[in-house]
């Protein structure tokens, strides 16, 4: 019986040792290192689309016409025939300056002209009579010459009277200050009853034409050459009837909502700045553009039919410049420095150089894409984010 217990104990010990060995082996298998899967990133090829390249600069809104209304004759201001800030049509009478004295002077000049005309007719008849008598020797030559001289003197006086009548008519017209063109008139300066037009012309108000309106800006010499080259490629010259389009936007506006045409480019370069002055003409029916406003200006230079564009958010920057992260065929990330173009609508950036059309650009999960590391790319269509 004691021997039997001894054998049982031995068996129990043997089983425990086997279980411990198996457990130890199992622990060793569970602690074996397994590499984590590569991180997922979103990739997309560059999008091909037509892109217009623009010359972008700044300019100022300038009235097409702006004139100071002045009193050119002396007198008391008797009428103001508009409301301050009112838009008026060309030819509208805005101010009246004591017309009675000038009307009287005009009538006097007309009367003098009429009297001289009557005297001239009489002198012409007398000369005709004396000339006829002289041919029959019934009048001396001196009498004929006197009649001729009187007629010619009166003819000259009539011309003088006619000129005086014209001058008085002009002076009388100055008593009515009219709008030279359609526009908005500023607040009047002198009040009714004020004496205006003394030793020098008196400013009464200013009229400004608001529709259409100009925007002036400067173009560098290099940009002028670019525009000329683009026009030449399209067989267009600046002097053609085809106008060069231009767009502007104000500081509080998004984009360039106002479209017009360039109607003037200076023929000379300003040697002090190396620029040319250009001017765009814009319709302004809603009076959004006012003289003195600062404006952003862009002029289309040329079009690229198949430009490569990527989301602007996919671009990074370092000391080498702008770059994109690209996933190769082996799913390894690489960094490519690129030459960027303009930012276009939708938050897309034109890439001029540095990538190919079939490159897989990292557009999502950029923080997980490390150059030289492997990733799991998920392909989607490129779009702005």
3-class secondary structure, 346: coil
pLDDT at position 227: 74
Query: How many percent of the chain have pLDDT more than 90?
Result: 53
pTM above 0.85, yes or no: no
Q: What is the pLDDT of residues 190-217, one digit of tens each?
A: 999 999 987 888 999 999 999 999 999 9
Tokens representing residue 133 in the block: 């008598």
For residue range 79-88, what is the model confidence (pLDDT) as tens digits?
Answer: 999 999 999 9
Q: Please tell me the distance from the alpha carbon of residue 107 to that of residue 98, in angstroms, as a whole number.
A: 16
d(CA 151, CA 121): 8
Q: How many CB atoms lie within 10 A of CB 259?
A: 12
Region 111-137: what's the mean pLDDT? 80
Query: pLDDT digits over 11-38, tens only?
Result: 566 565 655 555 555 555 556 777 788 8
Better-predicted residue by pLDDT, 227 or 241: 227
pLDDT at 241: 46
pLDDT at 341 over 70: yes
pLDDT (tens digit per residue) in 144-176 = 778 778 888 888 988 999 999 999 999 999 999
Nearest C-alpha neighbor of 279 from the set 213, 215, 228, 224: 215
Tell me which of 122 and 35 has the higher pLDDT: 122
Q: In the prediction, which pLDDT does 149 show? A: 87
3-class state of residue 109 by DSSP: helix
Query: Domain 41-51+305-379 is of which CATH architecture?
Result: Beta Barrel (2.40)
Helices (H) and strands (E) in the chain, counts: 4, 22
State the average pLDDT over residues 242-263.
89
Quick one: average pLDDT of 259-273? 86
Environment class of 226 (CB within 10 Å of its CB; exposed 0-12, middle 13-18, buried 19+): middle
CATH 2.40.30.170 fits 55-64+210-304, yes or no: yes
pLDDT at residue number 138: 64
Q: Which 3 state secondary structure label does DSSP give 324? A: strand
User: Which residues have C-beta within 8 Å of that of residue 332, sequence separation ≥ 6?
Assistant: 372, 373, 374, 375
The per-residue pLDDT for range 366-379, each reduced to its tens digit, is 899 899 999 999 98
pLDDT band for 385, please (50, 70, 90 cuts).
Answer: very low
């Amino acid at each position: 019986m004691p021997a039997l217990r001894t054998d049982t104990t031995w068996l129990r010990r043997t089983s425990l040792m086997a279980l411990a060995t198996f457990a130890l082996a199992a622990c060793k298998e569970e602690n074996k290192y397994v590499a984590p899967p590569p991180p997922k990133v979103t990739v997309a090829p560059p999008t091909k689309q037509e892109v217009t390249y623009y010359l972008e600069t700044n300019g100022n809104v300038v009235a097409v016409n702006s004139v100071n209304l002045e009193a050119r004759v002396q007198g008391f201001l008797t009428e103001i025939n508009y409301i301050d800030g009112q838009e008026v049509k060309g030819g509208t009478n805005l101010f009246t300056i004591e017309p009675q004295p000038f009307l009287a002077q005009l009538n006097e000049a007309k009367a003098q002209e009429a009297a001289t005309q009557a005297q001239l007719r009489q002198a012409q008849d007398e000369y005709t009579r004396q000339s006829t008598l002289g041919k029959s020797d019934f009048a001396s030559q001196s009498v004929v010459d006197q009649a001729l001289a009187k007629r010619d003197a009166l003819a000259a006086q009539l011309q003088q009277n006619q000129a005086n009548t014209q001058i008085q008519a002009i002076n009388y017209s100055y008593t009515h200050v009219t709008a030279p063109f359609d526009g908005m008139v500023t607040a009047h300066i002198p009040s009714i009853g004020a004496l205006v037009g003394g030793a020098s012309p008196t400013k009464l108000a200013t009229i400004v034409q608001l529709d259409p309106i100009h925007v002036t800006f400067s173009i560098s010499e290099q940009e002028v050459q670019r525009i000329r080259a683009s026009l030449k490629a399209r067989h267009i010259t600046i002097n053609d009837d085809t106008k060069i389009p231009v767009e502007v936007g104000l500081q509080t506006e998004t984009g360039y909502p106002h479209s017009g045409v360039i109607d003037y480019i200076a023929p000379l370069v300003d040697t002090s700045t190396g620029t040319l002055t250009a001017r765009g003409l814009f319709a302004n029916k809603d009076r959004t553009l006012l003289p003195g406003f600062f404006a952003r200006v862009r002029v289309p230079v040329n079009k690229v039919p198949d430009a490569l564009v990527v989301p602007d958010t996919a671009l990074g920057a370092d000391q080498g410049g702008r770059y994109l992260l690209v996933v190769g065929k082996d799913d390894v990330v690489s960094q490519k420095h690129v030459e960027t173009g303009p930012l276009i609508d939708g938050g897309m950036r034109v890439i001029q150089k540095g990538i190919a059309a079939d490159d897989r650009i990292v557009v999502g999960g950029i923080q997980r894409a490390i150059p030289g590391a492997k990733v799991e790319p998920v392909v989607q269509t490129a779009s702005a984010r």
